[in-house]
Amino acid sequence: MRLIFLGAPGAGKGTLATAISKRHELPQISTGDIFREAVKNETELGRKVRGIMERGELVPDQLTVELVRERLSRPDVREGYILDGFPRTIPQAEALAGFQTIDRVINFRIDEEVVVRRLSGRRVCRSCGAIYHVDNMPPKRENLCDRCGGELYIRDDDTIEAIRKRLEVYERQTEPLIAYYRERELLRDIDSSRSVEHSQAQIEEILSALGSDLRA
């Protein structure tokens, strides 16, 4: 099964990709991991990526696609994979279609207010980096770390204003991609505003229907 997971920040896409990856023994592939590996191994493409990242620029589509193509030519993905965070743009999606047949694209749908609540409740310990959540994992004493007693703070990324901006950017960037895959009848929506278990059950249902399709 060759899968793509699409989801806004805070939709739980990464967590679910990891869970489904383990359960179905499908490698979880993200461009972040590919870039890091290429840089570490000092491949020719890796040296290019390092230069681009050091200048604080975005890795261009063509180079990203080349790296993904190399990753998807390895034997561990013969039975399939989960692409997590790729493609991001239509040119990337079109390039991918040139060398891979994708079976399903799972689109994590979530209400903006739910994401804002999830992400804005996050607190981080200034001393040890432990992460808390005011609703789901509150510290025993308000604003103090259970582990080391350090002060908890809100990361700049987790302010309500920053979260809304990130969601807006995500939506603007991803809308054409969602339309692209919907037109090709590859897209399946899930509602990820409830628990991880609820999201997982919906994905399992999609994968089992896909399994029957592939066997037929």
Q: For binding to Zn ion (CB under 5 A), which residues are involved? A: 125, 127-128, 130, 145, 147-148, 150
DSSP 8-state assignment for residue 60: P
The span from the CA of 93 to the CA of 4, in Å, is 11
Distance of closest approach, residue 105 Cβ to Zn ion, in angstroms? 39
In the 8-state DSSP scheme, what is residue 26?
A: -
Question: Quick one: 129 or 211, whose CB is closer to Zn ion?
Answer: 129
CA atoms within 13 A on the CB side of 109: 8
For Zn ion, which is the closer residue by CB, 101 or 136?
A: 136
Describe the chain by its helix, strand, coil percentages, rounded to 5: 50, 15, 30
Tell me how far, at minimum, the Cβ of 140 lies from Zn ion, in Å. Answer: 12
Count of C-beta atoms within a 10 Å radius of residue 160 = 12
Quick one: 151 or 191, whose CB is closer to Zn ion?
151
Give the separation between CA 216 and CA 70, rounded to whole angstroms. 30
Residue 104 annotated among the catalytic residues of the structure: no
- Identify which of residues 130 and 178 has a Cβ nearer to Zn ion in the complex: 130
In the chain, what is the straight-line distance between the N-terminal and C-terminal CA atoms, in Å? 14
88 is catalytic: yes
Q: How far is the CB of 152 from Zn ion (least distance, A)?
A: 8
User: In the bound complex, what is the minimum distance in angstroms from residue 92's beta carbon to Zn ion?
Assistant: 39
Q: Is 126 a catalytic residue?
A: no
Among the options 2, 71, 122, 123, which is catalytic?
A: 122
* Catalytic choice (88, 109, 117, 182): 88
Q: Active-site positions?
A: 13, 88, 122, 155, 166
